[in-house]
Chain A
Amino acid sequence: MTTVSLTVNGKAVSANVDPRTLLVQLLRENLRLTGTHVGCDTSQCGACVVHLDGKAVKSCTTLAVAVDGASVTTIEGLAHDGTLHPMQEAFREHHGLQCGFCTPGMIMAAVDMVNRRGHQLDEKTIREDLDGNICRCTGYHNIVKAIAAGAEAMGKGAAPVRQAAE
């Protein structure tokens, strides 16, 4: 067993883990942050996307021991004092989900997209950058709309984007 210490959603945490523990297992099983999902076994679906030191990564393809000392933001870290993050609000408003299984990964990928590319995202860019996120329900149409709207809302500073953890 190895001890890992990291910052998750702004809070310092540490856990004793077997080296083969994946980051997603640490989050879900040790920290009970079950918003991050596991949808595949092939690193393709993106349901497990979290931010690692500010960048979107697949937590099912990252070892917990390898991120010792890092800062992680999960879907649970986005809302602030009971107010949804603008990207979450945009998914709600534009009906960017059906079953909701892919949604945490979609939203983390969307916020990462804004961090990389800014607040004006056209449809082509959004669709391209969703390469790593699979949704089996929606047909993507409303997800794309939600991300464009959420990106803009983040720019207007509707609610301060939580950057503390990054």
Chain B
Amino acid sequence: MYAFTYHKPTSARQAATLLAKKEDAKLLAGGHTLLPTMKQRLASPSALVDLGACADLKGITVKGRNIVIGAMTTHAEVADSPEVQSAIPALAYLAGHIGDPHVRHRGTIGGSVANNDPAADYPAALLALGATVVTNKRKLTAEDFFTGLYETALEEGEIITKVSFPIASKAGYAKFRNPASRYAMVGVFVAKRGSEIRVAVTGAGEGGVFRWPEAEAALKARFAPKSLDGLKHTAKGINGDIHADAEYRAHLIGVMAKQAVAQATGKA
């Protein structure tokens, strides 16, 4: 790791001030993406602004028909939250299957969303549930927020403060885990809210998380695993690497989508 100066503000506002003042500064959340990257010298910020003491970025609240999760809330806290478990059980399930228990004790929703790793789990939930990413400057829909591989709409000095999830009537998540890293080779999140159905796919797309309109249309006729029988995702635009080629991943999308619907309808 290259040297840096370390700062620990106690509020998001203080963090934003520090971020603006220090040239080449980076935010530190759980550190479970940033620190490994710095250890390999793939990132070398001159200053780290640690959000760990910003109490205003933590916690889970139910606001009307939404679950609002502070950016510094850990994966373990989301997984164990009675509010999340009762409002959107699939979201608690997703958080409880990120990495391993130790990763879940440190990694945060804000860090995961900001990083937009193409194999990360949360982006699928945000896109399928129609979540809103709230920053210190504005509010963005998930569609507008995730812009490509490791790319988001976040601007210089912008801090995610919370993510707001509308409560779906039915939701499910299924992921085929990379057996070594536990990241998603393919993860599919399905959600039904009123008559709107969304199917979001992570781990597979060359451009990161995406929606699968054909599956959404098929599920609109009837929200059941059977509705997806015979439906295949094309291998075009799908990632191939040493873990799985594009054909295999494309096949997994269909399999995971069915499992996710089964979970959402209590048939898993």
Contact mask for chain A residues 1-29; partner B; CB cutoff 8 A; 1 contact, 0 none: 01000000000000000111010000000
Say whether A138 faces chain B, with CB atoms less than 8 Å apart. Answer: no
Q: Which residues of A, 41-63, contact B by the 8 Å Cβ criterion?
A: 41-44, 46, 49, 52, 55-58, 61-63
Complex CA gap A116/B77 in Å reads 12
Which residues of chain B come closer than 8 Å to A109, judged between CB atoms? 101-102
Is there an interface contact between A112 and B101, defined as CB atoms closer than 8 Å? yes
Say whether A66 faces chain B, with CB atoms less than 8 Å apart. Answer: yes
Which residues of chain B come closer than 8 Å to A41, judged between CB atoms? 36, 39-40
**Assuming the A-B contacts A58-B102, A131-B100, A131-B101, are A66 and B31 also in contact, with contact meaning beta carbons closer than 8 angstroms in the complex?**
yes
- For chain B, the bracket of interface size reads 20 to 34
Interface of A is mostly: mixed
Is there an interface contact between B101 and A61, defined as CB atoms closer than 8 Å? no
Say whether B52 faces chain A, with CB atoms less than 8 Å apart. Answer: yes
Which residues of chain A come closer than 8 Å to B4, judged between CB atoms? 19-20
Say whether A97 faces chain B, with CB atoms less than 8 Å apart. Answer: no
Interface size on A, residues (CB 8 A): 31
Residue of B with least CB distance to A134: B180
Complex CA gap A46/B40 in Å reads 18
Is there an interface contact between B102 and A65, defined as CB atoms closer than 8 Å? no
B77 to chain A, nearest CB (A): 11
Number of A-B contacts (CB under 8 A): 81
Complex CA gap A116/B48 in Å reads 32
A44 to chain B, nearest CB (A): 7
Is there an interface contact between B102 and A132, defined as CB atoms closer than 8 Å? yes
Complex CA gap A43/B103 in Å reads 9
B225 to chain A, nearest CB (A): 24
Among B39, B76, B182, residue most surrounded by chain A Cβ atoms (within 10 Å): B39
**Assuming the A-B contacts A66-B28, A131-B182, are A58 and B6 also in contact, with contact meaning beta carbons closer than 8 angstroms in the complex?**
no
Say whether B32 faces chain A, with CB atoms less than 8 Å apart. Answer: yes
Say whether B35 faces chain A, with CB atoms less than 8 Å apart. Answer: yes
Q: Which of A18, A130, A132 contacts B99 (CB 8 A)?
A: A132
Which residues of chain A come closer than 8 Å to B76, judged between CB atoms? 55
Residue of B with least CB distance to A113: B101
**Assuming the A-B contacts A18-B3, A66-B52, are A61 and B35 also in contact, with contact meaning beta carbons closer than 8 angstroms in the complex?**
yes
Which residues of chain B come closer than 8 Å to A93, judged between CB atoms? none
Complex CA gap A61/B111 in Å reads 14
Say whether B232 faces chain A, with CB atoms less than 8 Å apart. Answer: no
Complex CA gap A56/B106 in Å reads 9
Interface of B is mostly: mixed
**Assuming the A-B contacts A43-B32, A66-B50, are A132 and B106 also in contact, with contact meaning beta carbons closer than 8 angstroms in the complex?**
no
Which residues of chain A come closer than 8 Å to B31, judged between CB atoms? 61-63, 66
Complex CA gap A133/B100 in Å reads 9
Say whether B105 faces chain A, with CB atoms less than 8 Å apart. Answer: yes
Which residues of chain B come closer than 8 Å to A42, judged between CB atoms? 36
Q: Which residues of B, 86-118, contact A by the 8 Å Cβ criterion?
A: 99-103, 105-106
Which residues of chain B come closer than 8 Å to A129, judged between CB atoms? 100-101
Say whether B181 faces chain A, with CB atoms less than 8 Å apart. Answer: yes
Complex CA gap A19/B47 in Å reads 10
Say whether B5 faces chain A, with CB atoms less than 8 Å apart. Answer: yes
Complex CA gap A133/B102 in Å reads 9
Contact mask for chain A residues 33-46; partner B; CB cutoff 8 A; 1 contact, 0 none: 00000000111101
Complex CA gap A61/B100 in Å reads 14
Is there an interface contact between B101 and A132, defined as CB atoms closer than 8 Å? yes
Which residues of chain B come closer than 8 Å to A49, judged between CB atoms? 102
Say whether B43 faces chain A, with CB atoms less than 8 Å apart. Answer: no
Q: Can you list 24 residue pairs at the A/B interface with Cβ under 8 Å?
A: A19-B4, A20-B1, A20-B4, A22-B35, A41-B39, A43-B36, A44-B181, A46-B102, A52-B105, A58-B102, A58-B106, A61-B31, A61-B32, A61-B106, A62-B106, A63-B6, A63-B35, A63-B48, A65-B8, A66-B28, A66-B31, A68-B8, A112-B101, A133-B100
By a beta-carbon cutoff of 8 Å, the part of chain A in contact with chain B is: 2, 18-20, 22, 41-44, 46, 49, 52, 55-58, 61-63, 65-66, 68, 109, 112-113, 116, 129-133
